[in-house]
Amino acid sequence: MPALVYKTSFQMTGFRFGILLMAAALPLLAASCAGRNGNDGDAQGTETPDEVQVPAIGFFTDRYDSDTVSVKYGDTFSVLMQRLGMSGQDAYALTGMCDSIIDLRRIKAGNTLAAFYETTDSSRTLKYVVYDHDLVHSTVFSCDSLAVWNYDKPVEHVRRSADVTISSSLWNDMIDAGASPALIMNLADIYQWSINFFTLQKGDRFRILYTQSECEGQLVGIDSVRFSLFDGCDGKQVAAVLFDTGEGGSNTYWDKGGVSLKRMFLKAPLRYNRISSRFSYRRKHPVTGKIKAHTAVDYAAPTGTEVYAIGDGTVTKCGWDPTGGGNRIRIKHMQGYESSYMHLSRFASGIRVGTRVSQGQLIGYVGATGTATGPHLDFRIWERGRPIDPLTLNSPASEPLDTAYLSEFNALYESYMREVGATPAAGTVSAPQIGEATATDGREAGIAPGSASGSES
């Protein structure tokens, strides 16, 4: 009889090592005894029994009754295990074995564990307790042999695709198409310089090729977006090809012709919610009721939503705005541009007048300070002192892809375009100039549900 085969990959401590060694040795001992009794088997070979394969978790879960239990407020690990059926002495001993395997402080009130019991007509004995850290990682506590180990469920990396046309909002339409919120946020990061996700409109289309990690059919996370193509209903087309030059740009995305998606300014200073009020030289103020110019875009968002600098620059104002703007930051950028962020609940650590900030750096948090009816960000841009509608601002692209890689890049781009069934838009790709308006300017839709009520300063 062959030895039992244990195909496990868990980390272990306690007496279980000895038990496994004994389990592996028993079949060898039985074979030796059989040999001495003259039962060596046919010389031509006998049928070999199937190997017993222990699951990766370390035991056969279907051989036990199981309960799901919740950690109560005030529970220590020892108290919890005693409540599940362990003796106080064993629970104390098991606690001491956990130090190198799991930080028991991670198991908090409200967390759930699975308890496995061996049941007979007259008894119910606790055998194992399993704590799932997440979809993949778990810790197993063996309650009779007193051992602790970690194990990971197998993870698959699956290539997926999505084809979504906007009918209500990117968020809702992506979810309806079976895509995950994680994919949406990946797209928002990829296109943060070239597409304002707060201004998408009905008919805009995204086609995406990506790879995601899955565990037992559930999403673990997005590994990478290999290719994405945005087709605006106005004819605007922006591709995003993940292309690694091997020079530190492994996460760099490029448009057709090797044009970089990264630009001088981000398209928006937030990564959440919707636009509640638009740039206008004639708008009725919601608090005072007066008609006055509102040369800004208001982004409605919950208090505490992070606000980011749209570009590199120097903070020229950081403090209270006496004209109703509340907590306000103003940043001076290159080429005569300035940006302003008002009604902040507070400033980010280290932000003060004279601070140099980089594009995408956290500078503050959305609030409702000053003259405001609710939490929102009042965002403004000036070009040499002249107010500019932030939604019409398109800044130049960064340096294009090195021509040494263009042939390889173009072949990859064309392959992806064929895979998603797309045709390149007419015309050549060129980097837009600062201040150049496009037909997509001023369009409205949301990136996420549950936005706060619109409010303006």
| String of DSSP letters for 59-117 | S-GGGSEEEEEEPPTT--HHHHHHHHT--HHHHHHHHHT-TTT--GGGS-TT-EEEEEE
In this prediction the pTM is 0.66
User: What is the percent of the chain where pLDDT is above 90?
Assistant: 51
Q: Is 125 helix (H, G, I), strand (E, B) or coil?
A: strand
Q: For residue 318, list its beta bridge partners.
A: 329
Per-residue pLDDT band for 285 (boundaries 50, 70, 90) equals: very low
State yes or no: pLDDT of 428 exceeds 70.
no
State yes or no: pLDDT of 91 exceeds 90.
yes
Interatomic CA distance for residues 136 and 450, integer angstroms: 30
Residues with Cβ within 8 Å of 37's Cβ and at least 6 positions away in sequence, in order, are none
Residues found in the chain: 457
> What is the pLDDT, as a whole number, of residue 392?
80
Residue carrying the six token digits 């007979």: 120
Can you tell me the mean pLDDT for 223-228?
A: 96
Q: Are 287 and 370 in contact (CB under 8 A)?
A: no
CA dihedral 392, 439, 361, 343 (to 10 degrees): 50
Interatomic CA distance for residues 260 and 389, integer angstroms: 24
Cα 406–chain centre separation = 31
| Two structure tokens written together for 404 | 């040494």
* 160-189 burial: b if 16+ Cβ within 10 Å, else e: bebebebeebbbbbbbeeebbeebbbbbbe
Residue 342 CA: distances (Å) to CA of 202, 246, 280, 293, 320: 30, 41, 17, 16, 9
State yes or no: pLDDT of 156 exceeds 70.
yes
User: What is the percent of the chain where pLDDT is above 70?
Assistant: 75
State yes or no: pLDDT of 49 exceeds 90.
no
| Two structure tokens written together for 406 | 């263009």
> What is the pLDDT, as a whole number, of residue 196?
81
> What is the pLDDT, as a whole number, of residue 363?
97
Interatomic CA distance for residues 289 and 287, integer angstroms: 6
